[in-house]
Amino acid sequence: MARYFDVHPVDPQRRAISQVADIVRSGGLIVYPTDSCFALGCQLGDAAGLDRIRKIRRLDDKHHFTLVCKDFAQLGQFVRIDNLVFRAVKSATPGSYTFILPATKEVPRRMLHPKKKTVGVRIPQHTVVQALLEELGEPLLSSTLLLPDEPEPLTQGWEIKERLDGMVDAVVDSGDCGTEPTTVVDLTGPEPVIVRRGAGDPSRFE
């Protein structure tokens, strides 16, 4: 049975955040809020957690997983960024964007796109996930909580707990966080390519 954490959206309770972080460190899979939808998250390098996300979402091996990072310094450990890309990403973070970039050797191979050796990265603007990332001291391996054959993500923590009880280890609820996922921008080529239009304004990359 999944544990349910009702966390204050502006002033998250430290004890609850610490308990959620412990669940992640012990190999748990969590559902947590971001500034664009709820997401599934587990510890970086957790192969079983990755497989559980694939199973819940029915994802193939070409899916780009995302590293949700606390800040730009942390993000820079896991992807390669030249000066032009640095400025573009820096100006849009924190926010509702996911950037696809070449991965460094710090990223487990199982997470990478099999041919491109790329990974998604983002820095969310959400108090609760920022507190969790601070407590963990490392990124969360993540994917938007969009269930198969459903057009929109789930928005209510209690419903997520009901639907995924037994499939995840914890649900962190801090209120509605919307149904629009991040805008995904591929920055691996000479020009930005918008892979998905979402909550972040795509015009800055067009």
- Separation of alpha carbons 111 and 46, rounded Å: 10
pLDDT surpasses 90 at 61:
no
Full residue range of the structural domain in which residue 180 is found: 3-205
pTM of the model: 0.94
Question: What is the count of structural domains for the chain?
Answer: 1
Q: What is the mean pLDDT of residues 90-113?
A: 91
* Structure confidence at residue 129 (pLDDT): 96
Calculate what percentage of the chain has a pLDDT beyond 70.
100
Exposed e or buried b for every residue in 187-200, given b needs 16+ CB within 10 A? bbeeebeeeeebbb
What are the pLDDT digits (tens) for 155-186? 889 999 999 999 999 999 999 887 888 999 99
Closest CA to 20 of 3, 44, 8, 45: 3
**Domain CATH code at residue 197:** 3.90.870.10
- The enclosing H or E element of 93 equals none
Instruction: Tell me the pLDDT of the chain averaged across its residues.
Output: 93
User: Worst-scoring range by mean pLDDT, 64-73, 104-113, 115-124, 133-142?
Assistant: 104-113
pLDDT surpasses 80 at 188:
yes
Query: Binning pLDDT at 50, 70 and 90, where does residue 20 land?
Result: very high
Calculate what percentage of the chain has a pLDDT beyond 90.
78
